[in-house]
Structure 1
Amino acid sequence: MPNSIIKTVDIAAPVEKVWDALIDHEKFGSWFRVALDQPFAIDQSSTGHMTYPGYEEYRWEARIVAIEPMTRFAYEWPATGGDKALMESGVPVPEWTLVEFVLKPTETGTHLTVTESGFDAVPEPRRTNVMRSNDGGWAEQVQNIKTYVED
């Protein structure tokens, strides 16, 4: 079974514009559909709440791992997979996955790769459910950032 989800998208915009949409917490929130409480900072927690329809009452929590200008942005977050029952339980999820955004300039703009890894730490049957949910979520999110940046 794979341990990661990888999504790629080509965006017709320069790396600087895509980077700004990733690293500016308000712009990130616009396309990701989350209201964040503070700017991103390495080794700091990122908190807020989801604004995605149907998930507005749920908290956002992440730990910022890397901010490598114009190249890589990474954070860890709880492996809930959007499971409402798990999120409502109030029980902390012990397993966290790593999300990495890697940017590469192309002739027509930016090639963005999003990788979420670390699912091997999540016990079954939750692992399969989290991976299925997050796979669909990342397919949507790479299109969200593409639309946001290209508009």
Structure 2
Amino acid sequence: MHVSDRIERKVLLNAPRKKVWEALTDAEQFGRWFGIALKGKTFVAGETIEAPITYPGYEHVIWKAKIERILPQTRFSFSWHPFAVEKGFDYDKETPTLVEFTVEDRAPGILLRVVESGFDTVPEARRLKAFKMNSRGWDEQMRNIEGYLSHFHQGIA
């Protein structure tokens, strides 16, 4: 079966651009909605960051990503190994995929788009599974950031 090279999702967020941007690029906030223990961490372009996943069932997994670009209020990207959840497996020899978030004004809110590309370079043995799991994962993460920001907006967070 042919797997597309990219997954693309978008969501219209009812929140100020600054709040959306902070939810993406403030590591602690990102960790809260994405499910990673990033307390006390900072995203720095060019640096690799590692932290435990807090998502139920994946607590044994360390999230590892290289922060690629942080273009203020516009674009945030990192590279990682998709669905890298197998204990003791060295994913570093694989070519990572690129995850890019873009933020744009779209009345009445902010359009957040995420594109994960590079699945063509994922080893064939795990490409379909990684694509499937991340397709589902991005659906969920778009709901997560939406929920996170709506709580934030109401002053609950």
TM-score (norm 1): 0.92
How far apart, CA to CA, are the structure 2 residues paired with 1:150 and 1:103? 17
> Structure 1 residues 144, 6: CA separation in 2 closer, same or farther (over 3 Å shift)?
same
How far apart, CA to CA, are the structure 2 residues paired with 1:115 and 1:92? 21
Match of 2:143 in 1: 143
Is 1:50–2:49 an aligned residue pair? no
Q: Report which stretch shifted further, 89-98 or 64-73.
A: 89-98
Correspondence for 1:65 among 64, 68, 91: 68
Letter in 2 for 1:54: G
How far apart, CA to CA, are the structure 2 residues paired with 1:41 and 1:91? 24
> Any idea what SS the aligned residue of 1:34 has?
coil
Residue segments in structure 1 that go unaligned for 5+ positions in a row: none
Is 1:88–2:104 an aligned residue pair? no
> Any idea what SS the aligned residue of 1:125 has?
helix
Q: CA RMSD in A?
A: 1.3
Q: Superposed, which structure 2 residues align to 1:115-130 within 5 Å?
A: 115-130=115-130
How far apart, CA to CA, are the structure 2 residues paired with 1:66 and 1:150? 26
Match of 1:10 in 2: 12
Letter in 2 for 1:42: A
Shift of 1:8: 0.5
Shift of 1:123: 2.2
Shift of 1:126: 1.0
Shift of 1:92: 2.7
> Any idea what SS the aligned residue of 2:55 has?
coil
How far apart, CA to CA, are the structure 2 residues paired with 1:98 and 1:118? 6
Deviation digits for residues 58-110 of structure 1, max 9, x if unmatched?
1010000000111000000013x25x4xx202323412100000001122110
Letter in 2 for 1:89: G
Residue segments in structure 2 that go unaligned for 5+ positions in a row: 152-157
Match of 1:102 in 2: 102
How far apart, CA to CA, are the structure 2 residues paired with 1:101 and 1:70? 10
Runs of 4+ in 1 over 4 A off after TM superposition: none
How far apart, CA to CA, are the structure 2 residues paired with 1:8 and 1:137? 13
Percent of aligned pairs sharing the same letter: 40
> Any idea what SS the aligned residue of 1:22 has?
helix
Aligned length: 147
Shift of 1:7: 0.5
Q: Report which stretch shifted further, 29-38 or 44-53.
A: 29-38
How far apart, CA to CA, are the structure 1 residues paired with 2:79 and 2:107? 31
